[in-house]
Amino acid sequence: MFLLLLLTAALSPLTGGVAPGERGITCRQEIPPGLIRELWSHTTQLINRLPKREKVSRRLLPKFCTRCPERLIGWLEMKEVLNVYQRTVFSATVIQKLLPLHFSELLFRLQHTLQHCESSSRHSRWFQIFRKLERKIKKRRQRVLKAVREFTFILRWLDELAEHHSI
């Protein structure tokens, strides 16, 4: 009996103080399956409405991977990137005029889902990179347009996380 109590106490910090059967709904379970697809199609519509690119420039978003340990991105990072996009990209007046119908509602649903599903509460090690990204986007209008074009990367990462990871 003492060994069982000791083992439970040792596992408690790993599960956040909650028994494994009592854990909350994970981000993977919380995101509706059609939400990412719908956002993807609306993003494609938005990208088609944007002015054509004059020149090819460097990518704004960092290169992340949902499976590689050295550039790993998780739900917390996705929440932070979506917050940056909501504050700087999709709130820009240039983009507001071009947004497809219901795009803002879908984005809000995704943000709300990520805010309330279970994830780590500590800051990501990528937090400073996201702040730098936000400052870069705010500097020039062309970067806002480029950031919209790169939103498909974020949707792809979300889809991969929802498909392959449990938390």
Asked whether the predicted pLDDT for residue 79 surpasses 70, the reply is: yes
Q: What is the pLDDT of residues 88-119, one digit of tens each?
A: 999 888 888 888 888 889 999 888 888 877 55
Other CB atoms within 10 Å distance of the CB of residue 25: 11
Give CA angle at 116 (107, 12), nearest 5°. 145
Residues 6+ away with beta carbon under 8 Å from 48? none
What are the distances in angstroms from CA 120 to CA 46, 53, 85, 94? 32, 38, 20, 34
Q: What is the pLDDT of residues 14-60, one digit of tens each?
A: 333 333 334 445 677 778 778 889 999 999 999 998 888 766 577 88
d(CA 140, CA 21): 49
**And the tokens for 90?**
């999709």
Q: How many whole angstroms from its chain centre is CA 123?
A: 14
Q: What is the pLDDT of residues 139-162, one digit of tens each?
A: 887 788 889 989 999 998 888 887
Find the farthest-apart pair of alpha carbons in the chain and give their distance in angstroms, rounded: 71
Q: Are 42 and 102 in contact (CB under 8 A)?
A: yes
